[in-house]
Amino acid sequence: MTPLGRKFEEALRYTHELHRDQKRKETDIPYISHLLSVCALVLEHGGSETQAIAALLHDGPEDQGGEATLAEIQKRFGAGVAAIVSACSDTMEVPKPPWRARKESYIAHLESVPKEVLLVSMADKLHNARAILADYRVIGEALWQRFSGGRDGTLWYYRALVTAYRRLEDGPLLHELDRTVGELEALAR
């Protein structure tokens, strides 16, 4: 693999700038920890510098400025990064459409995305599922209040993602996501 270059360094700085004051849902965990974790998963599973940069920035437009942020990402990091970021976003609309419709649309949209998007998307969902599982072990059923889909909707969404990814891509990330979701389902019964 080619060493990560200056664009990656710039992406780290820009990611911090975008998410500096953001925390993970109802925690004191800096949001950037999620973005760094997704980037690490992408790199650990053979992702390119473009995919790693997209992993860092994948929530920027959705959480911090919509289309204007996506345009800035394209200007700074190129069309390839912007295309992956856009494909990993379930919406940039404000206000956001209803939760279930957004999630169903995202799952359907996975059928048409390039493989480089799937790696970033799976890494994102795996890190989220791991965080949900870890938090569930600590706070139990109260966890579901954090999520618009509640317990049943959140469990449905992650199982539906596993099913969709399985049709498109096989590999260690998918297997780890499937195991994590399965463990969460078993604990939440």
- Low-confidence spans in the chain with pLDDT less than 70: 1-2
**pLDDT value for 132:** 96
**pLDDT value for 82:** 98
Whether the CB-CB separation of 137 and 129 falls below 8 Å is answered with no
* Number of domains making up the chain: 1
Question: Is the residue at 57 inside a domain?
Answer: yes
**pLDDT value for 91:** 87
Whether the CB-CB separation of 56 and 11 falls below 8 Å is answered with yes
Instruction: Tell me if the pTM is above 0.85.
Output: yes
Question: Is the residue at 13 inside a domain?
Answer: yes
CA atoms within 13 A on the CB side of 26: 11
- CATH number, domain of 110, equals 1.10.3210.10
Whether the CB-CB separation of 54 and 85 falls below 8 Å is answered with yes
**pLDDT value for 107:** 97
Distance CA 88, CA 72 (A): 16
Question: Is the residue at 165 inside a domain?
Answer: yes
Sequential DSSP letters for 57-100? HTTHHHHTTHHHHHHHHHHHH-HHHHHHHHHH-S---SSPPPHH
**pLDDT value for 59:** 94
Question: Is the residue at 66 inside a domain?
Answer: yes
**pLDDT value for 143:** 95
Tokens of 161: 């993602």
Question: In the block, which residue shows the tokens 């957004």?
Answer: 102
Domain that holds residue 104: 6-187
Question: Is the residue at 1 inside a domain?
Answer: no
pLDDT by residue (tens digit) across 1-39?
568 999 999 999 999 999 999 899 888 899 999 999 999
Whether the CB-CB separation of 111 and 168 falls below 8 Å is answered with yes
